[in-house]
Amino acid sequence: MRALSRRGVLGLGMGAAAALTVGGCSSFGSSASDTVAADQGGTGPAKPIGDGSTAYTGKQPNQPPAPQKLEPGQKPPQFVVFSWDGAGEVGNGLFPRFRKLAKDHNASMTFFLSGLYLLPEQKKRMYRPPNNRVGASDIGYLTDDHIKATLKNVRAAWLEGHEIGTHFNGHFCGTGSGSVAHWTPAQWNDEIEQAMSFVTNWRTNTGFTDLDPLPFDYTKELVGGRTPCLLGQDNLLPTARKRGWRYDASSPGGRQVWPVKKQGVWDFPLQQIPFPGHSFEVLSMDYNILANQSQNSTKAPPANYPGWRKQATQAYIAGFQRAYETNRAPFFIGNHFEKWNGGIYMDAVEEALKHIADDARKDVRLVSFRQLCDWLDAQDPQVLADLRRLGVGQQFTGRG
């Protein structure tokens, strides 16, 4: 684990720490009547793609109406994006827990699916990671039962309106040539192709015949990702641009200001946020808070848990409040489906989401990264340029 600074460390993918051996709403102004119920599936009959692992089912349900342009000087909504690295369900119930939380608060999220979580370990030699041995991975392969649970949750998440991005595959974060930090644009493209193959051919690779297909065309659904440990963005971006990706969420140490594009791709970094009790700030991700609290230990003495849980919750809330009360910069939070240190970080993000989704704040939007792209791309460039002039904590002075 390579530290950025005392303020935080780079995020791990789900399972990597275990191996350490890893009233707002989701709309731009919609109501329940604006969406299609998730249990109805897509808007049309399923049309199998390839081996039937995925299927085109029409327009994704539970999406907001078309975003509206801001008028010059008009205060923007406060966007908040909760995102999840790895996005596998390994029997701890965290994937369905946060799907339910999102449903309860009309929130959309982004789930960065690791391609290897749909590839059985007995087929691991199908994976040829750049600059690493065949079948190698710094995160574990899932059991058949956990692959099935992951497929069921990914399917349900998309039908509920969430975005399915990518966390790539083997999660190589070391210092040698095998690290994603040293991959070339061509190697990133190969990694993406393999991730897409594992998602779109899970039926062939697993032999499962008792599961429904994923209800989307992944070649169209996949428009962004987050790299392992937030490494390698510079060489990923040329590939992301050529593939038509709309954003990348891999940049570390961002500040709470309005985003810009890098090489034609929206850059959505994890952000430095206030860290209660400290003079420095921390990255807005569960593992980075953990690293500052327990020095990377995921099983610290339980006596620390209540205080740390409160501190983590307050950090997320402080980051939200700073943006909401000043420049309204979109706020990004990253997480993993892990019960590190007694599950306190899962409790913290749940409490923070409940606070952020307070019904009294009608101008808060809990969205996916793709939905945020939709809103940004609909705005007048000059209006966005004016917003980007606002620094961290700088008060918005336009009209409300």
103: left (phi over 0), alpha (psi -120 to 50) or beta: alpha
Helix (H) or strand (E) holding 307: helix 305-325
**Each residue's pLDDT tens digit, 350-397:** 999 999 998 778 899 999 999 999 999 999 999 999 999 999 999 999
CB atoms within 10 A of CB 127: 22
Percent of residues, the chain, with pLDDT higher than 70:
89
Q: Among 24, 4, 15, 13, which residue's Cα sits nearest to residue 81?
A: 24
pLDDT at 2: 31
Per-residue pLDDT, averaged over 131-149, amounts to 98
Phi and psi of 299, rounded to 5°?
-135, 60
Residue 298 exposure: Cα atoms within 13 Å on the Cβ side: 18
**77-100 as b/e, with b when 16 or more CB fall inside 10 Å?**
bbbbbbbbbbbbbbeeebbeebbe
- The residue assigned the tokens 């400290």 is 278
Cα–Cα dist 323/330, whole Å: 7
Q: From CA 100, how far away is CA 324, in angstroms rounded?
A: 25
Residues 155, 301: Cα–Cα separation, whole Å: 37
Close Cβ partners of 295 (under 8 Å, ≥ 6 residues apart):
none
pLDDT digits (tens, 9 = 90+) for 254-272: 999 999 999 999 999 999 9
> 3-42 pLDDT, tens per residue?
333 344 444 443 333 332 233 333 333 322 233 333 345 6
The token duo for 28 is 């731009």
Contacts for 34 with CB less than 8 Å, ≥ 6 apart: 27, 64, 65
> Residue 398: which pLDDT band, with cuts at 50, 70 and 90?
confident
pTM: predicted TM-score of the whole model, two decimal places: 0.91
Q: CA 25 to CA 298: how far, in whole Å?
A: 32
- Structural domain boundaries in the chain: 3-30+44-388
Q: Per-residue pLDDT tens for 314-326? A: 999 999 999 999 9
The CATH fold assigned to 3-30+44-388 is TIM Barrel (3.20.20)
DSSP strands (E only) in the chain: 3-5, 8-9, 47-49, 54-56, 78-86, 110-113, 163-166, 247-248, 261-262, 265-267, 272-274, 281-283, 331-336, 364-366
